[in-house]
């Protein structure tokens, strides 16, 4: 196969803007790191002007302006006055959206999946129960996986523990350079559990698994009523350790949702029964066959976190996998959050969320609903919509400027702002590509 | 990447593309005096083992078909706007801005749509790791010995794997099924057409050469950590030991085939396969992530006189793309799978574009039945990533990553992989530009016969397994 043109394309330069993007990222890396290390200093006004603005919380605005001050959105509209001294970002011909939110990731706690020393996503737990496990405490702000996601428009992620019957507690973070404290939006956002193949969760049959859930929730309730007696060892034996029971109290009190990974339609119905009987709030994740019970999910007001990439009956729990699921859920009135469920979407490819949305559209989801499903809806489901997920006054200024339709492959991310600051930081991959753009590679600068 | 990280290795010789396209007469091995056995067929092997599981696929009868007013990405030249193509008797009979349809032809209007060659995935484990998975269907890695050149992937393929019809419905018409990557030498691949059949023989691409799967790096050394090889240097010693045996075996048999003196040498299935690689009759597909390991595999190939046809996965291919171009080795790649293990850390999304721009054959492969359904999207991501570093890839080039280049890797570029007169009539009609996220496959023709029609669910191929188990996904939101 020949090079595209007669000459060696490796020696040709891209357009000035293309080159500018990457080179600028490289050159400014150190400066950017220095400046981003002081994320608290945010006295800055930014005006993004002239773009097609998708606030998500309201209808799109042609030729709109988004005004940002001190890290917050202060105005969005077609007739917003830009104060003197504001940093202007010309978005003429561009699309402006809230930063994308990938709801189910292991970012920061799973660096290289095959290197256990870099993975802190699954607790050892006690008989499959790790309710007290705060996964966010293991987040490494120096993870190399933040930059690829952020540079492609993902500004917040759910960090979700995995494994066992009750995996632990999840958080939402902003992909803002800084410390863990800087990054966290909210923790916990949910208690994570699995209701899939019972053998994965330490039971041997579905009914046994159901009974274990009931027992755990009942005991958490009993424990919360009888804490003092428990401390004096005057209670019966409970089904979990003290710390885990303690962690389940907000769940049984309805203050913290139970995010349950479940696929098979009959299992989803079991989860709905459990939620009713135990009076807990649930969120369905995975949901391969959720389309079969869409009406029941809508009636119970249970949100579903689901992908649009899988149509293969990969297991006996997912025989009904199909790519129209997000569209069918949305049509039934289910609050639908889109995630990537193509293979290899974890970690490296948290960035591909926008393409999952595009595929969902190709399989029937309305475009506006798809954008909402990767911005405002996950923010609502995780209880952080007061901060992220939409462009309206008072929200954190997590904003992406795109060269066109965000879901299309040819579209480029032109600007990413998190809490009002433009984040400019090349990924490892950017640096590798620069190094090997010519042969022999440049290992040392003269 | 499924439960098991797949590995492939291919090493194929070919001093030139033209030479590679020709079925090679295996001169030294042709059993000229042995009239009791059939001669090796196309893609056949040495005399004692000539095609013992022959393809039973028959090109179906079909009505002549014209698709017109369509944008044709030919993979053989510039796109044809408002073009037409005539499919007749299983072949592409005419292509151009207009063709004259025979009176009995079905005429399909492709206005606003795109036509491409059938997509070819040169790295799949469909059938050998069939859905719905589990131990019962896990037949892709014979992890009992680091060198299992004696196993053939086709003997594990379950034709009722529901992944096959899904591949077809996404535009894939041909796939190479490989053993997994747990072994240094994993065994023979098989090239299949995406057609229903009660037997794998009924899916086998007639005349396709076999491939040999080899694997570098972490997988074999992890699998055999306790018995060895447990290191990369152990891996290399293992390949070399196998080739030393294979070379001796080849000499013994070539000599006997030439003179027929005395009893024939004892057959050895594994060495027979390796000897066929040394004779150039089997193409080497080499799973290898890192640039340094690819360079070592190239030297091993030179030491023993074989060629590597394609490096698979090659997340670091961009680091040595100039060498791959020079050596005539293709690179079967993902756009953006990476980071999941140490040897995959340096994956970059422009890999395909960088390899292609350096003059090497770039191929989009899947190693995954879900990714396989979106190879066009993978190409689009790589195109966009290339643009970001100043490498422009046209759609006319990128379509080759999905069609004619993998066809070459399989030694089938004289039969499939482009829309040219005389090629097999494997074509895909897309609802829109296939490099758009919104494009869907509307129709697929395989050897000129209608194989998939999105608008007609009753016509969809459903495997035996799916009956009663898997609901037909109709009634979706549109």
| pLDDT (0 to 100) of residue A16 | 29
Q: Does B361 sit within 8 Å of A4, measured CB to CB?
A: no
Which residues are CB-neighbours of A426 under 8 A, at least 6 positions away? A22, A25, A26, A29, A147, A151
Q: Cα(A108)–Cα(B90) distance, rounded to whole angstroms?
A: 53
- Candidates B310, B86, B90; CA nearest to B211 is B310
Q: In what helix (H) or strand (E) does residue A76 lie, and over which residues does it extend?
A: strand A72-77
Strand, helix or coil at B300?
helix
Which residue shows structure tokens 């797949």?
B6
Is some CB atom of chain B closer than 8 A to the CB atom of A21? yes
Whole-Å CA distances, B272 to A182, A373, B154? 62, 56, 17
Closest chain B residue to the Cα of A411, Cα to Cα: B384
Per-residue DSSP letter, A296: H
**Which stretches in chain A have pLDDT values below 50?**
1-42
Whole-Å CA distances, A37 to A41, A431, B119, B160, B304? 10, 21, 48, 56, 55
Is some CB atom of chain A closer than 8 A to the CB atom of B340? yes
Q: Write out pLDDT tens, residues B375-386.
A: 999 999 999 999
Is some CB atom of chain A closer than 8 A to the CB atom of B436? yes
Q: Can you list the alpha helix ranges (DSSP code H) found in A38-86?
A: none
Q: Does A10 sit within 8 Å of B473, measured CB to CB?
A: no
Q: Cα(A2)–Cα(B26) distance, rounded to whole angstroms?
A: 30
Contact A281, A254 (CB under 8 A): yes
Q: Does B435 sit within 8 Å of A319, measured CB to CB?
A: no
| pLDDT (0 to 100) of residue A10 | 29
Contacts of A15 in chain B (CB under 8 A): 390
Six-digit token string for B115: 């036509």
Q: Does B477 sit within 8 Å of A365, measured CB to CB?
A: yes
Whole-Å CA distances, A388 to A41, A156, B378? 20, 8, 30
Is some CB atom of chain B closer than 8 A to the CB atom of A307? no
Is some CB atom of chain A closer than 8 A to the CB atom of B133? yes
Q: Cα(A368)–Cα(A362) distance, rounded to whole angstroms?
A: 13
How would DSSP label each residue in A300-322? Answer: TT--EEE-SS--S--STT-TT--
Chains A & B: contacts with CB separation below 8 Å: 201
Contacts of A18 in chain B (CB under 8 A): 387-390
Closest chain A residue to the Cα of B368, Cα to Cα: A343
**pTM, full prediction:** 0.91
| pLDDT (0 to 100) of residue A342 | 66
Contact A11, A438 (CB under 8 A): yes
Which member of A1, A348, A408 has the closest CB to residue B338? A348
Q: Does A319 sit within 8 Å of B470, measured CB to CB?
A: yes
Contact B156, B191 (CB under 8 A): no
Strand, helix or coil at B261?
coil
| Cα dihedral across residues B200, B201, B205, B210: positive or negative | positive
Contact B316, B50 (CB under 8 A): no
Q: Cα(B213)–Cα(B164) distance, rounded to whole angstroms?
A: 21
Closest chain A residue to the Cα of B347, Cα to Cα: A429
Site from B389, B397, B472 to mutate, A interface, most A CB atoms within 10 angstroms: B389
Contact A328, A94 (CB under 8 A): no
Which member of B381, B405, B476 has the closest CB to residue A409? B381
Which residues are CB-neighbours of B372 under 8 A, at least 6 positions away? B121, B124, B126, B163, B167, B170, B172, B175, B366
List, as ranges, residues 359-388 from A with C-beta within 8 Å of B: 359, 361-365
| pLDDT (0 to 100) of residue A197 | 82
Question: What angle is formed at CA A308 by the lines to CA A306 and CA B2, rounded to 5 degrees?
Answer: 90
Site from B168, B336, B363 to mutate, A interface, most A CB atoms within 10 angstroms: B336
| pLDDT (0 to 100) of residue A15 | 29
Chain A nearest CA to B373, separation (Å) = 9
Q: What's CA A131's distance to the chain center, in Å?
A: 21
Contact A21, A13 (CB under 8 A): no
**Which stretches in chain B have pLDDT values below 70?**
1-49, 475-478
| Cα dihedral across residues A55, A372, A92, A152: positive or negative | positive
Q: Write out pLDDT tens, residues A5-44.
A: 332 322 222 322 222 233 333 333 333 433 343 344 446 8
Q: Cα(A240)–Cα(A238) distance, rounded to whole angstroms?
A: 6
Which residue shows structure tokens 């009722």?
B160
How would DSSP label each residue in B194-236? Answer: S---SSGGGTB-TTPPPEEEEE-THHHHHHTTTTS--SHHHHH
Is some CB atom of chain B closer than 8 A to the CB atom of A327? yes
Q: Cα(B151)–Cα(B273) distance, rounded to whole angstroms?
A: 9
Is some CB atom of chain A closer than 8 A to the CB atom of B347? yes
Which member of A1, A346, A410 has the closest CB to residue B361? A1
Is some CB atom of chain B closer than 8 A to the CB atom of A13? yes
| pLDDT (0 to 100) of residue B258 | 86
Q: Cα(B328)–Cα(B331) distance, rounded to whole angstroms?
A: 10
List, as ranges, residues 83-142 from A with C-beta within 8 Å of B: 112-115
Longest Cα–Cα distance of chain B, Å, equals: 71
Angle between helices A16-27 and A428-435 (to 10 degrees): 110
Is some CB atom of chain A closer than 8 A to the CB atom of B369? yes
Which member of A331, A342, A437 has the closest CB to residue B370? A342
| φ/ψ (deg, to 5) at B51 | 50, 60
- Classify residue B155 as exposed, middle or buried by CB count within 10 Å of its CB (0-12, 13-18, 19+): middle
Of chain B, the end-to-end C-alpha distance in Å amounts to: 30
Q: Cα(A219)–Cα(A216) distance, rounded to whole angstroms?
A: 5
Q: What is the mean pLDDT of chain A?
A: 90
Q: Return the bridge partners of A76, or none.
A: A66
| pLDDT (0 to 100) of residue B461 | 97
Q: In what helix (H) or strand (E) does residue A428 lie, and over which residues does it extend?
A: helix A428-435
Whole-Å CA distances, A154 to A176, A417, B255, B275? 11, 10, 64, 52
Q: Write out pLDDT tens, residues A182-216.
A: 999 999 999 999 998 888 788 999 999 999 999 99
Contacts of B338 in chain A (CB under 8 A): 348
Six-digit token string for B430: 């897309």
Which residues are CB-neighbours of A346 under 8 A, at least 6 positions away? A105, A106, A110, A113, B340
**E strands, A346-433, where?**
399-402, 413-418, 421-422
Q: Cα(A300)–Cα(A281) distance, rounded to whole angstroms?
A: 10
List, as ranges, residues 3-62 from B with C-beta within 8 Å of A: none
List, as ranges, residues 197-226 from B with C-beta within 8 Å of A: 218
Whole-Å CA distances, A410 to A13, B217, B387, B395? 18, 34, 9, 12
Q: Cα(A238)–Cα(A227) distance, rounded to whole angstroms?
A: 12
Which member of A8, A365, A436 has the closest CB to residue B319? A436
Per-residue H/E/C for A153-174: CEEEEEECCCCCCEEEEEEEEE
Q: Cα(B217)–Cα(B240) distance, rounded to whole angstroms?
A: 15
- Classify residue B460 as exposed, middle or buried by CB count within 10 Å of its CB (0-12, 13-18, 19+): middle
Whole-Å CA distances, B82 to B112, B421, B448? 9, 18, 20
Whole-Å CA distances, A161 to A172, A384, B162, B244? 12, 19, 31, 49
| pLDDT (0 to 100) of residue A196 | 84
Q: Can you list the alpha helix ranges (DSSP code H) found in B260-392?
A: 269-278, 291-304, 321-327, 351-357, 375-388
Tally of CA atoms within 13 A in the half-sphere of A424 that contains its CB? 18
Residue A111 zone, left/alpha/beta (φ > 0; ψ -120 to 50; rest): alpha
Longest Cα–Cα distance of chain A, Å, equals: 85
């Amino acid at each position: 196969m020949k090079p595209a043109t007669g000459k060696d394309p490796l020696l040709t330069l891209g357009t000035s803007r293309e080159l500018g993007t990457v080179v600028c990222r490289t050159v400014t890396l150190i400066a950017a790191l220095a400046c981003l290390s002081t994320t608290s200093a945010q006295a800055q006004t930014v005006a993004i002007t002239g773009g097609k603005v998708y606030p998500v919380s309201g209808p799109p605005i042609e030729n709109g302006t988004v005004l940002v001050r001190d890290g917050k959105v202060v105005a969005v509209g077609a007739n917003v006055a830009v104060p003197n001294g504001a940093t202007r970002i010309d978005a003429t011909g561009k699309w402006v959206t809230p930063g994308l939110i990938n709801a189910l990731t292991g970012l920061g706690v799973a660096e290289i999946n095959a290197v256990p020393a870099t993975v802190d996503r699954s607790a050892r737990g006690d008989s499959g129960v790790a309710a007290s496990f705060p996964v966010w405490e293991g987040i490494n702000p120096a993870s190399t996986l933040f930059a690829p996601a952020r540079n492609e428009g993902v500004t917040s992620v759910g960090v979700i523990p995995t494994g066992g019957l009750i995996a632990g507690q999840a958080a939402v973070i902003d992909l803002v350079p800084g410390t863990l404290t800087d990054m966290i939006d909210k923790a916990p956002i949910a208690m994570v559990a699995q209701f899939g193949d019972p053998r994965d969760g330490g039971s041997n049959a579905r009914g046994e698994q159901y009974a274990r859930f009931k027992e755990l929730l009942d005991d958490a309730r009993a424990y919360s009523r009888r804490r003092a007696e428990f401390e004096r060892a005057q209670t019966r034996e409970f089904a979990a350790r003290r710390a885990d029971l303690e962690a389940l109290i907000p769940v049984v009190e309805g203050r913290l949702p139970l995010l349950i990974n479940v696929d098979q339609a009959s299992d989803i119905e079991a989860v709905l029964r459990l939620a009713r009987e135990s009076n807990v709030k649930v969120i369905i994740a995975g949901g391969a066959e959720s389309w079969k019970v869409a009406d029941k999910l809508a009636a119970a007001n249970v949100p579903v976190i689901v992908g649009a990439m899988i149509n293969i009956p990969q297991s006996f729990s997912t025989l009904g996998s199909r790519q129209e699921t997000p569209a069918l859920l949305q049509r039934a009135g289910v609050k639908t959050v889109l995630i990537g469920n193509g293979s290899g979407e974890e970690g490296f490819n948290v960035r591909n969320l926008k393409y999952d949305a595009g595929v969902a559209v190709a399989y029937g989801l309305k475009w506006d609903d798809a954008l909402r499903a990767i911005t405002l809806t996950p923010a609502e489901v995780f209880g952080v919509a007061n901060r992220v997920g939409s462009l309206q006054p008072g929200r954190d200024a997590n904003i992406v400027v795109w060269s066109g339709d965000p879901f299309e492959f040819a579209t480029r991310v032109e600007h990413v702002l998190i809490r009002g600051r433009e984040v400019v930081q090349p990924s490892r991959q950017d640096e590798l590509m620069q190094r090997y753009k010519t042969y022999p590679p440049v290992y040392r600068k003269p | 990447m499924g439960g098991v990280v797949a590995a492939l290795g291919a090493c194929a010789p070919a001093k030139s593309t033209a030479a590679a396209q020709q079925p090679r007469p295996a001169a030294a091995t042709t059993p000229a005096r042995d009239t009791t056995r059939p001669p090796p067929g196309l893609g056949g092997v040495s005399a004692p083992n000539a095609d013992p599981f022959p393809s039973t696929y028959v090109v179906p009868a079909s009505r002549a078909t014209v698709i017109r007013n369509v944008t044709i990405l030919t993979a053989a030249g510039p796109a044809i706007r408002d073009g037409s193509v005539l499919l007749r008797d299983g072949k592409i009979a005419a292509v151009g801005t207009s063709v004259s349809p025979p009176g009995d032809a079905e005429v399909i209007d492709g206005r606003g749509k795109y036509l491409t060659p059938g997509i070819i995935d040169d790295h799949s484990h469909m059938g050998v790791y069939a859905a719905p998975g589990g131990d019962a269907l896990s037949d892709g890695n014979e992890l009992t010995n680091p060198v299992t050149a004696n196993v053939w992937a086709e003997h594990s393929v379950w034709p009722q794997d529901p992944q096959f019809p899904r591949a077809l419905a996404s535009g894939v018409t041909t796939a190479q099924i490989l053993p997994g990557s747990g072994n240094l030498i994993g065994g023979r691949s098989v090239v299949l057409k995406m057609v229903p059949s009660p037997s794998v023989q009924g899916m086998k691409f007639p005349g396709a050469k076999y491939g040999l799967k080899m694997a570098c790096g972490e997988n074999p050394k992890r699998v055999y950590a306790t018995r060895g090889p447990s290191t990369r240097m152990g891996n290399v010693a293992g390949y070399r030991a196998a080739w030393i045996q294979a070379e001796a075996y080849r000499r013994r048999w070539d000599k006997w085939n030439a003179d027929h003196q005395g009893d024939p040498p004892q057959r050895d299935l594994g060495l027979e396969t390796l000897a066929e690689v040394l004779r150039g009759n089997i193409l080497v597909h080499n799973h290898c992530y890192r640039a340094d390991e690819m360079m070592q595999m190239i030297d091993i190939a030179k030491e023993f006189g074989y060629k590597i046809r394609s490096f698979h996965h090659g997340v670091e291919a961009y680091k040595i793309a100039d060498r791959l171009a020079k050596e005539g080795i293709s690179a079967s790649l993902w756009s953006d799978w990476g980071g999941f293990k140490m040897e995959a850390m340096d994956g970059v999304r422009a890999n395909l574009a960088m390899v292609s721009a350096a003059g090497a054959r770039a191929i989009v492969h899947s190693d995954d039945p879900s990714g396989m359904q979106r190879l066009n999207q993978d190409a689009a991501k790589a195109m966009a990533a290339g643009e970001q570093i100043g490498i422009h890839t046209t759609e006319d080039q990128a379509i080759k990553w999905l069609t004619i280049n993998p066809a070459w890797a399989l030694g089938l570029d004289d039969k499939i992989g482009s829309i040219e007169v005389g090629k097999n009539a494997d074509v895909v009609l897309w609802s829109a530009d296939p490099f758009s996220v919104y494009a869907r496959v509307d129709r697929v023709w395989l050897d000129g016969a209608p194989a998939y029609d999105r608008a007609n669910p009753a016509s969809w191929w459903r495997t035996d397994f799916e009956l009663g188990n898997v609901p037909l996904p109709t009634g979706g939101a549109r």
